Amino acid sequence: MKKPFLFAALAAVLMTPTAPAWAQAAYPTKPIKIVVPFPAGGTSDVLARIVGQKMTESWGQPVVIENRPGSSGNLGADLVAKSPADGHTLVLMDVGNLVISPALFKLPFNVATDFAPVAMVAYSPHLLAVSTKVPANTPAELVAYAKAQKGKLNYAVAAGMGSASHLAGVMYAQRNGIEWGYVPYKGGAQAITDLIGGQVDVMFNGMVATYPHVKAGKIKLIAISGAKRNAQTPDTPTVAESLPGFLTGSFQGLLAPAGTPKAVIDKIHAEVQRIAAMPDVRERLTTLGAEPSAMTPNEFGNWLKAEIPAMAKIVKDEKITVE
């Protein structure tokens, strides 16, 4: 009488999916929150809303975008690092900030151990842009004007002191032998608004959030910080054409708390890749000057580990500090 029970039990075990497979099949089981540690309207926010909308349509669970600005993106990142590791709380941000922050701040989290890299969503070069009130249209004219107005120009730091935008501005000024004041903002949207209004004079900021205002004629594009000229603006020089080796940009990454099951990480990563390959999304990214990334979670993690010491060296060599 015991054999049928034994066979039934064995069959039930064999038919039961493994834990990772079950987790992948079941996820998501509730609404997903994507934290953007900057105000609405910036590069991270724009990309989070594109990804979030497509995830909602595909998975049938609401994806809520929550803007939590502060401390150069570190406030929102810390919130996610301390959230349950179940894949329902994520952070989408310029991870360039994360690899710079350890060299400048005493962080309440460890970038290398408190996050699980999910997907490098996109890369877009920084745009070097100025207010229409600045009488310069080329890098040489901007440098000459800045030297003539020594210390009088205001540089908008789009995501707070210690951010990738701040680092770009400091490197550009130091390598050109110019001085300007730094005005920190919690995110790129307000910085761009003030650049349009002429309250600040110059900034490096991600192409996704900045280029629409260039096309509208509200601000002037001086140069692009990518490795090569951009197809959207073929006549605009790269910064590297006058400053060899100069390369900065907005690296938009999606991360989860450390300990999130690999099956869940893989499912989210696959979904981001699917979304990035959709014709309408690809067209929008191209129009905005962003490039989707095929980087795997493991490759993303290795990128973080390599960039942290590289950025620390730049911070040290350029003597960059946060007051």
Query: Are residues 259 and 116 in contact, defined by beta-carbon separation less than 8 angstroms?
Result: yes
Per residue in 100-129, pLDDT (tens digit) is: 999 999 999 999 999 999 999 999 899 999
DSSP summary character for residue 246: -
Spatial distance between the Cα atoms of 63 and 272, rounded to a whole number of angstroms: 13
Q: What are phi and psi of 290, to 5 degrees?
A: -105, 150
Spatial distance between the Cα atoms of 270 and 273, rounded to a whole number of angstroms: 5
Which pLDDT score, from 0 to 100, does residue 42 have? Answer: 87
Name the amino acid, one letter, at 242: S
Spatial distance between the Cα atoms of 292 and 315, rounded to a whole number of angstroms: 28
Where are the alpha helices (H) located in 65-206, listed in sequence order?
74-81, 95-104, 139-148, 164-176, 188-197
CA distances 211 to 137, 156, 187, 217, 219, Å, are 16, 16, 16, 10, 9
Query: Are residues 124 and 68 in contact, defined by beta-carbon separation less than 8 angstroms?
Result: no
Query: Are residues 242 and 251 in contact, defined by beta-carbon separation less than 8 angstroms?
Result: no
Instruction: Please provide the average confidence, as pLDDT, over all residues in the chain.
Output: 90
Spatial distance between the Cα atoms of 173 and 190, rounded to a whole number of angstroms: 22
pLDDT at 31 > cutoff 90: yes
127-241 matches 32-124+249-317 in CATH topology = yes
CA atoms within 13 A on the CB side of 311: 24
Spatial distance between the Cα atoms of 39 and 298, rounded to a whole number of angstroms: 29
The CATH fold of domain 32-124+249-317: D-Maltodextrin-Binding Protein; domain 2 (3.40.190)
Instruction: Give me 237's structure tokens.
Output: 């020089």
Per residue in 37-48, pLDDT (tens digit) is: 999 988 899 999
Rounded to 10°, the helix 297-317/95-104 angle is: 40
Cα angle 17, 20, 26; round to 5: 75
Q: Given its phi and psi angles, is residue 70 left (phi above 0), alpha (psi -120 to 50 degrees) or beta? A: left
Name the amino acid, one letter, at 301: G
Q: What does the domain layout of the chain look like in residue ranges?
A: 32-124+249-317, 127-241
Residue written as tokens 């350890």? 102
pLDDT at 253 > cutoff 80: yes
Query: Are residues 192 and 165 in contact, defined by beta-carbon separation less than 8 angstroms?
Result: no
Per residue in 125-153, pLDDT (tens digit) is: 999 999 999 999 999 999 999 999 999 99
Q: How many CB atoms lie within 10 A of CB 20?
A: 13
Model confidence at 208, pLDDT cuts 50, 70, 90, reads confident
Spatial distance between the Cα atoms of 179 and 132, rounded to a whole number of angstroms: 20
Query: Are residues 37 and 252 in contact, defined by beta-carbon separation less than 8 angstroms?
Result: no
Is the pTM here over 0.85, yes or no?
no
Which pLDDT score, from 0 to 100, does residue 3 have? Answer: 43
Superfamily of domain covering 127-241 = Periplasmic binding protein-like II (3.40.190.10)
Query: Are residues 122 and 291 in contact, defined by beta-carbon separation less than 8 angstroms?
Result: yes
Query: Are residues 116 and 260 in contact, defined by beta-carbon separation less than 8 angstroms?
Result: yes
Which pLDDT score, from 0 to 100, does residue 16 have? Answer: 44
